[in-house]
Structure 1
Amino acid sequence: MAASPYERDVIAPVAIYHRVEFGDPDPNLPGQFGYFYNYIDYDFTLGGRTLSARHYLDEPQRALLLGTPVEDELTLLVLQFLLMRYDTLEWLGRDGYLKVPKPVMNAVRERLDIHLARSG
């Protein structure tokens, strides 16, 4: 039996979607360059709550938490999952996407170090 690609992770996504979105910025102004988004969405679930993350393929080192984050166990686990893959983690703040605050990232890094030492 094949091993799960996430067996060494602290949490595994319950769904992964690859999506491409494109279109015109304004249909009344033809000929303008529109938008083109090529991204992967991850959905995670714990305790009846779902949290989604997104990675735009043209930004190889960056991942985003979608929705307003709650500093709970699910968020910390998802941030650990993302930190194993991406260097820059952001979440949605009042003024758009912001880097995850340093105190939260310090806690995530500490938890990830412990996890990696145990599974090493």
Structure 2
Amino acid sequence: MNIENALKECMSIAGSLGVALVDHESGMSLGTSGGGDWLNLEVAAAGNTDVIRSKLRVMSALALNDTIEDILITLHRQYHLIRLLDSIHGRSSLFLYLVLDREQANLALARHYLKRIESDLQV
């Protein structure tokens, strides 16, 4: 599945408000869908790059021999889900950032769908 189709699939998840595919090494977005005036996905993508980098530094400082699957940020009205993508040869520097309306979304299903989309995505 290409990036455009993956973003469309993400937007079809119940409660989806916006999605971005982002490189956490550069902070640059490879593609976005949804969002709008109140949700600037380019700014959010860059900001969430800092979240990932921070967590990776903490894991390194603690000498944790593990990888991040996803990061959940829970707001009063939204879920912000950051899913780090696997590559064929280990971890890649890409992540999917999905914003969900908390009243409409099913978090467990959204995580399941993101995992499926990740496995089909070819960059």
What band does the TM-score fall into relative to the shorter chain?
0.3 to 0.5
TM-score (norm 1): 0.34
TM-score (norm 2): 0.34
| Greater helix proportion | 2
Larger radius of gyration: 1
Which structure is richer in relative contact order (CA contacts within 8 A, separation 6 or more)?
Answer: 2
